[in-house]
Amino acid sequence: MLALCVACVGPTDRTFVTGRILPRQIRFVTLREATPGEEGGQRSACIHVRLTRANTSESVLCRFGVETPLRTHEGVISLPLAQRIAAERINEAAQAVFGSATIDSPLGMLCELMKAQLRRTFEASLAGARFRAQCDERAPPVLFGNLTF
């Protein structure tokens, strides 16, 4: 488990983002092998981020999945590349959403905003990449957080 604070309250009730998800922490599993020399194949990772409000202990588990192909028209997508793309997009989505949150922002809404941001950016990052609101059952969940603010 990664301990970081994505949305911490500062002295002016503004939130700020610290910490980062590292690429090696994204655990992809291969769901379908690629046919040699052809586009395709599929790998999936399941991400769980616990959001907790420090002053009330209110908590929400923000869950989603990400998938990448094993090979595109540009060639093989290595596991380290898939991990890097996923980690970068998750970190960017968290920064964008939690950086503008307040201590009064509803946790469920913040989760949905982060997922919407991630869907846009992740799918645009790599041909065949997909954001999933539900994790594939074959991908073990990786818990990140407690993300407390």
- At residue 6, the pLDDT reads 44
Does residue 65 sit within a domain? yes
- Are the beta carbons of 51 and 145 closer than 8 angstroms? yes
How confident is the prediction along the chain (149 residues), in pLDDT tens digits per residue?
A: 333 444 444 444 555 555 678 999 999 999 999 888 888 999 999 999 888 776 778 889 999 999 999 999 989 999 999 999 999 999 999 889 988 888 888 999 999 999 999 999 999 999 999 999 999 999 999 988 755 55
Instruction: Note the pTM of the prediction, 2 decimals.
Output: 0.84
Residue 87 lies in a domain: yes
Residue 145's pLDDT is what? 73
- CA–CA distance, 76 with 61 (Å, rounded to integer): 33
pLDDT of residue 49: 87
pLDDT at 8: 47
Tell whether 2 is covered by a domain: no
Does 1 reside within a domain?
A: no
97-104: Cβ within 8 A, 24+ apart: 98/6, 98/7, 98/15, 98/17, 98/147, 98/149, 99/7, 99/15, 99/16, 99/17, 100/15, 101/7, 101/15, 101/149, 102/13, 102/14, 102/15, 103/9, 103/13, 103/15, 103/53, 103/55, 103/149
Q: Is residue 114 part of a domain?
A: yes
Q: Domain residues for 49?
A: 8-148
The answer to whether residue 126 is domain-embedded is: yes
With CA atoms as reference, report the closest residue to 125 among 64, 65, 77. Answer: 77
**Residues whose CB falls within 8 Å of the CB of residue 55, separated by 6 or more in sequence, listed in order:** 103
- Count structural domains, the chain: 1
Whether the CB-CB separation of 65 and 44 falls below 8 Å is answered with: yes
pLDDT per residue as tens digits for the range 133-144: 999 999 999 988
Rounded Cα gap, residues 65 and 137, in angstroms: 10
Domain assignment present for 124 = yes
